[in-house]
Structure 1
Amino acid sequence: MLPTWMFVYHISLWYNLNFWQLLRKEKLPVDKVENIPLDMNQFRMLFSTCKVPGITRDSVVSYFRTESEGSSPSHIAVLCRGRVFVFDVLHEGSLITPPEILRQLTYIYKKCHNEPDGPGIAALTSEERTRWAKAREYLISLDPENLTLLEKIQNSLLVYSIEDGSPHVTPEDYSQLSAMTLTGDPTVRWGDKSYNLISFSNGVFGCNCDHAPYDAMVMVKISYYVDEKIFENEGRWKGSEKVRDIPLPKELVFTVDEKILNDVNQAKAQFLKQASDLQIAVYSFTSFGKKLTKKKRLHPDTFIQLALQLAYYRLHGRPGCCYETAMTRYFYHGRTETVRSCTIEAVRWCQSMQDPSTSLFEQQQKMLQAFAKHNKMMKDCSTGKGFDRHLLGLSLIAKEEGLPVPELFRDPLFSRSGGGGNFVLSTSLIGYLRVQGMVVPMVHNGYGFFYHIREDRFVVACSAWKSCPETDAKKLVQLTFHAFHDMMQLMNIPNL
């Protein structure tokens, strides 16, 4: 019997391919903020892009071309039960239809579920980078054809992952789905690929991407596009059911030996060990959302950032150095800048909230000062007035030129403030749509904290390492929700 997802997922995959065609034809509308166009270069890296491991340094390779630039790969790779298949998504110059996609996926599914599992070469991509680079070199030395197969995966439009699991999910609790999307079966994820589209056997889907080529908003954009199209068409294909005589998917069969199979098993064990150490809590706060915060003239993103500062302060008894993403796409090829949310104003407000002798009015005023500071920082960082990327550039130049590391970067306070990738809170707003994201903590005693904002709710995704005795993702989310209520109560005191 075919699983439910078969009758959902060919539609979803087809809309992903429509998005690819928009990019190929340069028809994707330019993103704008208050009528100011944003740089769209990152979208070139969404399809047919892959990180390639090197012994000392990785490289990002993109095979994508627009139609005006020339030909671009038009096949996808499908990973199922440790095996790899590819098929072309164009036939006689046009996209294959959802019924044709269903035929291809059904062929792969039946083959994998009626025959032994494959070697699971994909698990190697979850290994430590140098170990994966060495394993890859060895794999190629076994048989030159292995390089051809690796390149076929590297230049594929995307990797479509067929997972056997059925994650539980409700509109209030996305924890299990997020965990399985982030840390699922490593033999059906190509960790280096810019885009892994993951289907589960109960019709739920998610996606994984490599952060190096692009930022989260690219993934948010395509996810929302697919989501909207499915809603518009009630998840159904309304065109022809006819399936043309298109070539069946081709399996990529690697030449392997005992060493490679041992490397795969070691990679799987290492990945699953680390995955089992990750605590993930993804919940919806449904008492209010963007609508009420805007009504109180509070910026919703700043609202969540300050609630997180208060939650962390209450849980750990100290301020938490915090990274928040600011996008710099106002600039040519702009990516991100760091907003350091743990300001003096935020800390003073947190202290006042824990001091019974501080009046509600004073707490409110300190909170509004913290809001003003954060809003200004976000604006400054988005418009090129941040400093973290500049400092990163200086430290990298010193390394590349073989110069001694400048004194600033050796100062213990630089690390304690989050510098050098040491932020205890690694956070980002995923936007104002129906798309949620997830990230692991930057440091062992830290948290990953991503969220999205809707009219009537905030959805928060928090991660922590179980092996760290002092962190607790679930507790931090609960305290953040508690802080939301406390902050709203401050805005309801008389004489505002």
Structure 2
Amino acid sequence: MAEAHQAVAFQFTVTPDGIDLQLCHEALRQIYLSGLHSWKKRFVRFKNGVMTGVYPGSPSGLLVVLTGYISATKYAKIDPSLGLFTKLSTHLPVSKYITVEGQRIAGGVLVGTGLWVAVIFVMRNVRKCLLSWHGWMFGRHGSLSFKTKVWLVLVKLLSGRNPMLYSFQSSLPRLPVPPIKDTVRRYLDSARPLMDDEQYQRMEGLAKDFEKNLGPRLQWYLKLKSWWASNYVSDWWEEYIYLRGRSPIMVNSNYYAMDFLYAFPTHLQAARAGNAIRSLMMYRRKLDRAQIKPRFLLKDYVPLCSAQWERMYNTSRIPGLETGFPGIWDSFLVILQSLTLPSASQLMVLNTIPMCSSQYERMFNTSRVPGVEEDILQHVNESKHIAVYHKGRIYKVWMFYDGRLLLPREIEQQMERILADESEPQPGEELLPALTAGDRVPWAKARSEFFSKGKNKQSLDAVEKAAFFVTLDDSEQRYEADNPIQSLDSYGKSLLHGKCYDRWFDKSFNLIVYKNGTMGLNAEHSWADAPVIGHLWEHVLSSDPVQLGYSEDGHCKGNLHPNMPGPQRLQWDIPEECQTVINNSLTVAKTLADDVDMHIFPFNKFGKGLIKKCKTSPDAFIQITLQLAHFRDKGKFCLTYEASMTRLFREGRTETVRSCTVQTCDFVRAMMNDNTTKEEKLKLFKVAAEKHQDMYRLAMTGSGIDRHLFCLYLVSKYLGEDSAFLKEVLSEPWRLSTSQTPLQQVELFDLKKHPEFVTSGGGFGPVADDGYGVSYIVLGEDLINFHISSKHSSLETDSHRFGCYIQQALLDILDLFQFDDKADKK
């Protein structure tokens, strides 16, 4: 095994003739290149900070304004400051050295700069006010009202050009606090189908009492926080839902993302790791330089691609001239086309409504550090290495050499060195990551006692401050066409928990590369939500086989590096007392992992294309399907969680859509009744779908139920007040927890030409002991992948049984529309 190169920059010895100084030129060269790289990175960050800080303005805009004012001052012989600078000059010690013309120029600079700043301030705040209006979301499906068209035009014109990742942060509105009476009313609506008359009347009494007495007082404190903080929910959500949890984060919190379903770019483990790690590091470089495009909300009824909109906006349609500058002619053209052409108005929705990008800040160089009462998120600004686990050994691998990022073949070379290492793990090292898989308190105490000094601290710092964690897994996982169910189930369980000691579950994410070249991700949940890590994973999957590629023999493209130092084996000194804690954590983790009942299946009988022909939202279609399947599985309804995002607001994260509604239950009961006609069932389905869409819109626009009640509950605890209503609401178990994995960068995957590049999406563990966790991803026009999890220990659940009910429910609901189509033809 090639250890890290321990270069010494200089050595000296004292002799009778003086000091003999010996310099190592290679070490000094590496020091120089490393410093140069760091200063370049600092400069880029400073420049990006300036560009983001003045957006939607730009330094070039300031230059144009100042040039115009100075020219006007010089040739028109006027003072743009209207004598203000002359008055100020009496108080300036250098004023007597400034000529009259100089005073005019200085006045022009002052006035021009002030005007430029004022325009930016006005544009930013007007845009914030515009983005606070969400009436466009509640318009009729497939069309935009005149008011919405005008609103979209104004938002677009005030958004500037070439935005960076964080350009819109200062213009995003704050999450509003809904009125208590609205939240209580919506809660009672959601609780009605789950309670009998007596239970509902009791809960209604508690709710009304809360709304009248304690609620207004708690609401006042919450509004005060919303005025002061950027987001009145997110910090408490992160702290109390994630960081204060003392149970294992493996299975309970962490989630996973899968590789391609049918494509296998290479069978070489080191090569696949080389391309994937290189792609991840390139994404981090783009993130550091804010070169990743900001995320915009895409409304599902927009039929045209964003490239057409960008060209329409950024290009002047003057005959013979395409300036690429958004001048007056562009503005007029945008307004004219968007107000008169239906396709242009729908096109406007694309790349217009920004989403918050704050969650991207902690994607890399981040680790969750355990505490006795509460964990913390540790983030470092820069990390030049990754941590790699293989067969019980952990390595520190530098990602830079000669002042540059390693190339894919060079990273593969480092992985090959690790795979070739035949040394044995040190005592306790093999199972060490199990500490991150067990309960948090033992891990926190062990970290403080055994990893706070010496080489244990240095090695732990190398892991926690790494860009991310990589596991070179010694097992083989992949989709097998002749054994699809068992192969996918095993693959999903492996990504979710592995062997319980071969992932560092505290890292922001783990890259897992299997022996046969298949790979996946395991992500920690507290720092961000799944769409953010999904955006990263889409970049990796799209760049791996297409942009980076492999040679004919399966290796990464490029050449080996002849002089590159090898990975550094981390050294540990783990006493027997600590090994006992590790074994105890492993026992807890294995019990949890063995209890997971995982089932993953691709549904390819129909998909988004056919669902949209039914004029129904694919998400509403699937959510109602899950309700029907769950009722057939358990014979009852349950409180259902569907994750919705609130990133239309600054620092927004998620909100809950309570998918089990009165309207959905009416439809399910109709489906279970053979005496109900298909026409009646279809009518009830459409009502339920519209209700679901309305609830989803409310959740996205800050009018959800659960985050508001959660924050009211925390305020009551801070005030020492007890609320029977809030206590019961927050103690209700989510026996059906669901989430859709969005495909955000559709342009990266041409599934018509390359159907083998379809991914299986990702999933998570069950939330309730007697419930299901369901994740699904809609891919292309004809494929929906489902991930179902539950617990073997529950007598009520069976993931494979539930999967069969889901498939049958999908077909049964579609049959209603097929009958409707036939009736229309007649």
**Which structure shows the higher helix fraction?**
2
1:245-256 to structure 2, matched below 5 A, reads: 245-256=563-574
| Contact kept? 2:365, 2:467, Cα under 8 Å | yes
Q: Aligned-pair distance for 1:148?
A: 2.8
Q: 244-253 or 82-91, which moves further after superposition?
A: 244-253
Identify which of 441, 447, 471 aligns with 1:130. Answer: 441
Q: Aligned-pair distance for 1:461?
A: 0.2
Residue identity matched to 1:175: D
Residue identity matched to 1:311: A
| Contact kept? 1:62, 1:155, Cα under 8 Å | yes
Residue identity matched to 2:565: P
CA–CA separation in structure 1 for the residues paired with 2:722 and 2:490: 43
Q: Aligned-pair distance for 1:476?
A: 0.9
Matched, 1:90 2:368: no
CA–CA separation in structure 2 for the residues paired with 1:374 and 1:244: 61
CA–CA separation in structure 2 for the residues paired with 1:307 and 1:275: 28
Q: Aligned-pair distance for 1:77?
A: 0.6
Structure-1 residue corresponding to 2:786: 460
Cα distance per residue 1:230-279 (max 9 Å; x no partner): 23237327853141523221122122111111222222222122211111
1:216-295 to structure 2, matched below 5 A, reads: 216-233=530-547, 235-236=549-550, 240-243=558-561, 245-295=563-613
CA–CA separation in structure 2 for the residues paired with 1:405 and 1:94: 59
Q: Aligned-pair distance for 1:116?
A: 4.3
| Contact kept? 1:324, 1:426, Cα under 8 Å | yes
CA–CA separation in structure 2 for the residues paired with 1:4 and 1:239: 13
Change in CA separation of 1:435 and 1:156 when aligned onto 2, cut-off 3 Å = farther
| Contact kept? 1:77, 1:153, Cα under 8 Å | yes
1:72-83 to structure 2, matched below 5 A, reads: 72-83=382-393
Q: Aligned-pair distance for 1:168?
A: 4.0
CA–CA separation in structure 2 for the residues paired with 1:24 and 1:169: 35
Give the secondary structure class of the aligned counterpart of 1:323.
strand
Matched, 1:438 2:763: yes
1:328-347 to structure 2, matched below 5 A, reads: 328-347=646-665
CA–CA separation in structure 1 for the residues paired with 2:497 and 2:383: 28
CA–CA separation in structure 2 for the residues paired with 1:409 and 1:175: 38
Matched, 1:7 2:271: yes
| Contact kept? 2:386, 2:470, Cα under 8 Å | yes
Q: 246-255 or 300-309, which moves further after superposition?
A: 246-255
CA–CA separation in structure 2 for the residues paired with 1:364 and 1:260: 62
Structure-1 residue corresponding to 2:477: 167
Matched, 1:24 2:274: no
CA–CA separation in structure 2 for the residues paired with 1:184 and 1:131: 21
Matched, 1:302 2:627: no
Cα distance per residue 1:67-117 (max 9 Å; x no partner): xxxxx1121011112221112212233210111111211111221x45346
**Which structure shows the higher strand fraction?**
1
| Contact kept? 1:83, 1:120, Cα under 8 Å | no
Matched, 1:54 2:380: no
Identify which of 39, 44, 49 aligns with 2:361. Answer: 44
Give the secondary structure class of the aligned counterpart of 1:186.
coil
| Contact kept? 1:81, 1:187, Cα under 8 Å | no
Structure-1 residue corresponding to 2:722: 405
Q: Aligned-pair distance for 1:135?
A: 1.5
CA–CA separation in structure 1 for the residues paired with 2:574 and 2:560: 39
Give the secondary structure class of the aligned counterpart of 1:492.
helix
| Contact kept? 2:550, 2:557, Cα under 8 Å | no
Cα distance per residue 1:102-145 (max 9 Å; x no partner): 1211111221x45346342111011111111112112135x443
Residue identity matched to 2:567: P
Structure-2 residue corresponding to 1:69: none
Q: Aligned-pair distance for 1:196?
A: 0.4
Change in CA separation of 1:421 and 1:51 when aligned onto 2, cut-off 3 Å = farther
Q: Aligned-pair distance for 1:435?
A: 5.1
CA–CA separation in structure 2 for the residues paired with 1:170 and 1:429: 24
CA–CA separation in structure 2 for the residues paired with 1:489 and 1:425: 25
Give identity over the alignment, percent. 29
Cα distance per residue 1:393-436 (max 9 Å; x no partner): 1222333x26133221233xx2xxxx447200111000136351
Give the secondary structure class of the aligned counterpart of 1:443.
coil
User: Paired residues, what number?
Assistant: 479
Q: Aligned-pair distance for 1:447?
A: 0.7
CA–CA separation in structure 2 for the residues paired with 1:218 and 1:361: 41
Identify which of 466, 469, 473 aligns with 1:156. Answer: 466
| Contact kept? 1:321, 1:340, Cα under 8 Å | yes
Please list every run of 5 or more consecutive structure 1 residues that lacks an aligned counterpart in the other structure: 65-71
1:133-148 to structure 2, matched below 5 A, reads: 133-140=444-451, 143-148=453-458
CA–CA separation in structure 1 for the residues paired with 2:662 and 2:364: 42
CA–CA separation in structure 2 for the residues paired with 1:188 and 1:138: 23
Structure-2 residue corresponding to 1:68: none
Identify which of 501, 506, 514 aligns with 1:200. Answer: 514
Matched, 1:448 2:757: no
Residue identity matched to 1:12: A
Residue identity matched to 2:685: M
Give the secondary structure class of the aligned counterpart of 1:166.
coil
Identify which of 362, 368, 382 aligns with 2:680. Answer: 362
Give the secondary structure class of the aligned counterpart of 2:763.
coil
Which protein is bigger by CA-based radius of gyration? 2
Identify which of 785, 804, 814 aligns with 1:478. Answer: 804
| Contact kept? 2:548, 2:557, Cα under 8 Å | no
Cα-Cα RMSD: 1.9
Give the secondary structure class of the aligned counterpart of 1:226.
helix
Q: Aligned-pair distance for 1:392?
A: 1.2
Q: TM-score, normalised by structure 1?
A: 0.92
Give the secondary structure class of the aligned counterpart of 2:809.
helix
Q: Aligned-pair distance for 1:472?
A: 0.7
| Contact kept? 2:775, 2:787, Cα under 8 Å | yes
Residue identity matched to 1:44: E
Q: Aligned-pair distance for 1:3?
A: 7.4
Identify which of 165, 179, 193 aligns with 2:493. Answer: 179
